[in-house]
A and B are shown apart, each in its own frame.
Chain A
Amino acid sequence: MPDQKQSKAIPTDEELMQRIQRGQESAFNALYDRYSQRMYRYFYRMLGQSAEMAHDFTQELFLKIIEQPEAFDTQRRFSTWFYAVAGNLVKNEYRRKAKQPLQAPLEEANTASASIGALPDLDAEVRKAYIEKAVQALRPHHRECFLLRYQEGLAVQEISEIVDCPPGTVKSRLHYSLKKLNELLSCVLGPNA
């Protein structure tokens, strides 16, 4: 019973958006607390680990809610819509640069893999940095699916709605990204690491 009461007391994302549409500041505050960290780290990893860009894009994303809260249809699922908007911002940024400089060359990552693999004891920070680098080495579409699935814990169906492609394509991208990361991280994460 207390759990039920608690779940009733906590408004859903969609309810918060309804309140934001009515101009309630506390609702915006709550929604920010729920999503700011997730969106920040999503942008951080999708935009080449740049804290400055992650800051700017997170700000732009939330400003969209402030300026046009009615753009969200409260009958829809908020997280799906929000990630889709974030994904569009990232795609626009890619287009703006007319190339994908955020994708580190795979050869570089492979070279790094060989050199790091030679190290007998890998410091946790170094290992983490290497994982970051390996994730950056993925193609943007694959990276996006990988991060949404395993970092943010979203379901395949929801990811397919966010990236606007069939679930089969999402699974394929996940499979490819896992395979690639497995190759890149084998010496770091394997039994020899």
Chain B
Amino acid sequence: MEPLTNHIEALLATKDYEELTKTERDQVTQSCGQQEYEQLRQVILSGQSLAEAPTPPPSLKANLMKAFRQKHQRRNIPLHSLTLPFWQAAAIAACMVLMGQFVRFGPVYAHPPAMAWEANDSIWFKKVTQIVADTALAVFSADDQLKAPKDSEAAIAVTDTRHLPAEKLLPQPVSDTPGWARRSALGTVENAPLLLMVH
């Protein structure tokens, strides 16, 4: 028996001799002959007939599906069963607060020109000096209760802002707003010492 060519082998796997075209029959005749082709075809068909049986038992599938569920349920851990050490929870909370600050105020030095503008702002300057003077009065009043404030201090305290140029005025923050909102309206906290130094 001669070794089969690819083409003949492919024909054997798919076609009976009667189904071959004339050209294919000629090729078969040259290769192995009709009788041998039919015999080999029978052998191949017998091999294909083996594909009908047997079948796996249903219990096999049930076992495997159960194994699959057990394996993958371990991967999908429900959130409510998670427990974290305190430091991890605190670190997560701190990160979230920082993220919130970043979203709210942006980067710390995102607007550097605003500092220079605020440094020349008379309203800002007046507010700062007012705070300094009030603080000083509150601190030193115990010692100098009977002493009247100096003229310069009084002058600072009662500075009239009505004659200041309106275009340089910042919107006045409402006094009862919380600290974070006031800082937001006046500028970042980091600006305050810088402004004092400029003036």
Which chain B positions have C-beta within 8 A of A81?
none
Contact with A150, one of B13, B53, B67 (Cβ below 8 angstroms): B13
Cβ of B46 under 8 Å from chain A: yes
List A163-183 residues whose CB lies under 8 Å from chain B. Answer: 171-172, 174-175, 178-179, 181-182
Q: Give A40's nearest chain B residue, CB to CB.
A: B56
Cβ of A55 under 8 Å from chain B: yes
Contact with A25, one of B43, B55, B61, B68 (Cβ below 8 angstroms): B68
Q: Give A58's nearest chain B residue, CB to CB.
A: B56
Which chain B positions have C-beta within 8 A of A151?
47-48, 50-51
Which chain A positions have C-beta within 8 A of B64?
28, 32, 59, 62-63, 66
At the interface with chain B, which of A3-11, A86-94, A98-106, A128-136? A128-136
Q: Is the CB of A40 within 8 A of B6?
A: no
Contact with B3, one of A36, A44, A175 (Cβ below 8 angstroms): A175
Q: Is the CB of B56 within 8 A of A178?
A: no
Q: Is the CB of A131 within 8 A of B46?
A: yes
Question: Whole-angstrom distance between the alpha carbons of A172 and B67 in the complex?
Answer: 41
Cβ of A118 under 8 Å from chain B: no
Q: A66-B68, A171-B3 are in contact. Are A182 and B60 (CB under 8 A)?
A: no
Q: Is the CB of A181 within 8 A of B68?
A: no
Q: A58-B60, A131-B49 are in contact. Are A185 and B42 (CB under 8 A)?
A: yes
Q: Give A190's nearest chain B residue, CB to CB.
A: B39
Cβ of B162 under 8 Å from chain A: no
Q: Is the CB of B54 within 8 A of A174?
A: no
At the interface with chain A, which of B71-79, B124-132, B181-189? B71-79
Q: Is the CB of A66 within 8 A of B43?
A: no
Q: A23-B75, A66-B64, A147-B47 are in contact. Are A36 and B42 (CB under 8 A)?
A: no
Cβ of A67 under 8 Å from chain B: yes
Question: Shortest distance in angstroms between A141's beta carbon and chain B's nearest beta carbon?
Answer: 16
List B1-59 residues whose CB lies under 8 Å from chain A. Answer: 1, 3-4, 6, 9, 13, 39-40, 42-44, 46-51, 53-57
Q: A128-B49, A185-B42 are in contact. Are A40 and B69 (CB under 8 A)?
A: no
Question: Whole-angstrom distance between the alpha carbons of A153 and B45 in the complex?
Answer: 12
Cβ of A51 under 8 Å from chain B: yes
Q: Is the CB of A189 within 8 A of B42?
A: yes
A-B contact pairs, 26 of them (CB 8 A): A25-B65, A25-B68, A28-B64, A36-B56, A41-B50, A51-B54, A54-B54, A55-B57, A58-B56, A62-B64, A63-B64, A66-B68, A67-B71, A131-B47, A147-B47, A147-B50, A150-B44, A152-B51, A171-B6, A179-B1, A181-B46, A182-B1, A185-B43, A185-B46, A189-B46, A190-B42
Given A66-B64, A131-B50, A135-B47, 4 other A-B contacts at CB below 8 A?
Answer: A23-B76, A40-B60, A147-B47, A185-B46
Chain B contact residues, CB within 8 Å of chain A: 1, 3-4, 6, 9, 13, 39-40, 42-44, 46-51, 53-57, 60-61, 63-65, 67-69, 71-72, 75-76
